[in-house]
Amino acid sequence: MNEQTIKHLGFIQAVITRLAQNSFAYKGWSITLVAGIFALAVKEASLQYPLVLVALLPTVAFWGLDAYYLRQERLFRKLYDAIRAAPQADLEANPFTMNTSPYDTQVPSWWSTCWSKTIGWLYGPITLVILLVIGFAYAWYQAKGG
């Protein structure tokens, strides 16, 4: 492996690292925002029913973004493997490529990625809890004559 290929792999690895950091940040922000919205909704021993509905927005948004970044990370891992295993002549024909489109069919779709173990098992339960709280809040709101 020549120095140019090693540098190319370093560029790809930097992108993979950045994508993984974004994914981690989205998970943290999602949990933090939902907890904050719940705290605001239960302010002063009264449940603000409409505010509980707002908790769905960041959850769904971060779920979609997290799935996007995980899929991109997987695409770049495929590119990394292809560059690592490619013959030198192929690398010289297209040096420093960052094109992941040839691997689109080798990586699960965005929708499938939404339901992967690393994402679906985090955002699914969060969404379920939000829906349960919305149901409880609505019942409580109706019982109070709202």
pTM: 0.86
Alpha helix stretches (DSSP H) within the chain? 3-41, 49-54, 56-85, 88-93, 110-114, 117-143
Domain that holds residue 68: 3-143
pLDDT score recorded for residue 95: 82
How many domains does the chain divide into?
1
pLDDT digits (tens, 9 = 90+) for 74-86: 999 999 999 998 8
Say yes or no to pLDDT of 141 above 80.
Answer: no
Any idea how long the chain is?
Answer: 146
Tokens for 37, please give them.
């919205």
pLDDT score recorded for residue 87: 83
Cα–Cα distance, 15 to 19 (Å, whole number): 6
Instruction: Identify residue 145 by its one-letter amino acid code.
Output: G
pLDDT digits (tens, 9 = 90+) for 54-77: 889 999 999 999 999 999 999 999
